[in-house]
């Protein structure tokens, strides 16, 4: 019985998934297109038919991890209509759940930064700064209406995201989840409470 022939879109997705897994294990420099082809069960020629250069896989990986089928940011769509604490809670739950479901992309970004390849730069300049700026703008509006103390909004945004991302990193990369098991929504609510307790303007 012959195997079903993949469409161009399906084949492209398969190549990206295989490349992402190998990059997260061996790094960009340590992974060859030949290895990607072997793991995908195809020839190198087919890879280059879909991606002219190995570097082109980077943008495809980011799109697959961050966008929906219409090419829109999944996280930004989840934030539509959210206000106040719900914005912070939605961001925390989304990021922690995504990393728990599949930590491959987080490992890949760490590997990329350590080997000084440009995947982490591409991610920061696109999706990373997008969510940072969105959160900073939201914090700025809370400062303006008197809910938050006057602080640097971008630093405050980095502080909150730092809590969330460090938690995911220690859970999924360092293995903390073997010893520390709390439902993600409870973790998110706790982080939001801690953040608001530190930044909310005290009413006299």
Q: pTM score, two decimals? A: 0.84
Q: What pLDDT, on the 0 to 100 scale, is given for residue 3?
A: 56
Kindly report, residue by residue over 40-65, the tens digit of the pLDDT: 898 999 999 998 887 788 888 888 88
Identify the CATH assignment for 67-199 out of 1.20.1280.290, 1.20.120.80, 1.10.357.10, 1.10.3720.10: 1.10.357.10
Question: Contact 25/16 with Cβ under 8 angstroms?
Answer: no
Answer yes or no: is pLDDT of 120 > 90.
Answer: no
Q: Which of 82-91, 118-127, 155-164 has the lowest mean pLDDT?
A: 118-127
* CB count in 10 Å sphere of residue 204: 3
pLDDT exceeding 70 applies to what percent of the chain? Answer: 97
Q: Using CA atoms, how far apart are residues 168 and 155, in angstroms rounded to an integer?
A: 20
DSSP letter string, 134-181: HHHHHHHHHHHTTSB-S--HHHHHHHHHHHHHHHHHHHHTS-GGGT--
Q: Over 90: is that where the pLDDT of 128 sits?
A: no
Every domain of the chain with CATH number 1.10.357.10 lies at: 67-199
Residue ranges, CATH 1.10.10.60, the chain:
8-58
Write the class of the CATH domain 8-58.
mainly alpha
């Amino acid at each position: 019985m012959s195997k079903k022939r993949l469409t161009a879109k399906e084949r492209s997705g398969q190549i990206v998934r295989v490349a992402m897994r190998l990059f997260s294990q061996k790094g960009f420099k340590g992974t060859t297109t030949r290895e990607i082809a072997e793991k995908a069960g195809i020839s190198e020629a087919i890879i280059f038919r879909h991606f002219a250069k190995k570097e082109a896989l980077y943008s495809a990986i980011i799109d697959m991890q961050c966008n929906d089928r219409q090419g829109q940011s999944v996280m930004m769509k989840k934030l539509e209509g959210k206000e106040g604490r719900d914005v912070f809670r939605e961001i925390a739950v989304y990021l922690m759940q995504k990393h728990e479901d599949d930590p491959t992309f987080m490992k890949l970004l760490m590997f990329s930064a350590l080997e000084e390849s440009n995947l982490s730069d591409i991610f920061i300049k696109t999706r990373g700064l997008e969510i940072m700026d969105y959160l900073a703008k939201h914090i700025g509006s809370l400062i303006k209406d008197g809910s938050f103390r006057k602080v640097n909004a971008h630093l405050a945004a980095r502080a909150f995201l730092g809590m969330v991302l460090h938690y995911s990193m220690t859970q999924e990369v360092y293995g903390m989840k073997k010893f520390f098991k709390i439902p993600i929504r409870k973790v998110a609510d706790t982080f939001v409470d801690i953040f608001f307790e530190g930044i909310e303007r005290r009413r006299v």
